[in-house]
Amino acid sequence: MILQRNVELAKGRINVAYDRLSEAEYNLTNLLYRGALHSAYYAAYTSIRVLLSLEYEEQKNHGKNINKFRQHYIKTKLLDANLSEYIRQLYKYRDLGDYDLDFIPKHDEVVEMVHFAKEFVNAVYEYLSEKYFFNKGFPCGSLGGGRGE
C-alpha cells in the first residue's frame, strides 16, 4: 500500500531530478561537457530512484536499480522501451566523462544525452502524475511552468 506521506516525499524528490537536469543544461550551455554528462545521467537515475522508492524497494547499487527499473517499468510496458536505451547511453557517457581522462566529449553527443535525460525525467514525472495525481505540468522552469508542488 502506498501511503500519502510517501507520495508527498516522491513529489519533493522528483524535484531533485529536475535540479540535476537544470545543472546538465547549465553545464551544456557553458560548454562544461563532462559536468553536463554527469548531471544528465544523475537526473535520469534520480527519477528511477523516486519510482523504486515509491513502488518497490530501492537498491544500493546503480546496476541493480536500473535492472529493477527495466523489470518493473520497461518489460511491463508501463514506460516506453526507449527509456531503457536512454539510461544505458547516459550511464555509458557519464562513466566515460567521470573516469576516462582521454575521453573528449563531442558537443552533439552531449546535446543528445541532455535530451535523453530530459525525455527520461519527463516520462517518469508524467507516469507519477497520472498514477498519483501529481500536479500536471512540469515542476521545473526550462521544462515548463515554475517549480511546482
pLDDT at position 17, please?
A: 96
- Whether residue 119 lies inside any domain: the answer is yes
Residue 97 CB coordination number (10 Å): 21
CATH code for the domain of 132 = 1.20.120.330
Q: pLDDT, tens digit, for every residue of 75-113?
A: 999 999 999 999 999 999 999 999 999 999 999 999 999
Q: Whole-prediction pTM value?
A: 0.87
> Phi and psi for 77 in degrees, rounded to 5?
65, 25
Alpha carbon 78 to its chain centroid, in Å, reads 16
Task: Give a yes or no: residue 54 inside a domain.
Answer: yes
Strand ranges in 2-137 using DSSP code E only, listed in sequence order:
none
Tell me, yes or no, whether 135 lies in a domain.
yes
Q: Which stretches of the chain drop beneath a pLDDT of 70?
A: 1-3, 133-149
Range of the domain at 52: 4-142
Domain-embedded: residue 44: yes
Specify whether the CB–CB gap between 53 and 126 falls below 8 A.
Answer: no
DSSP state of 80: -
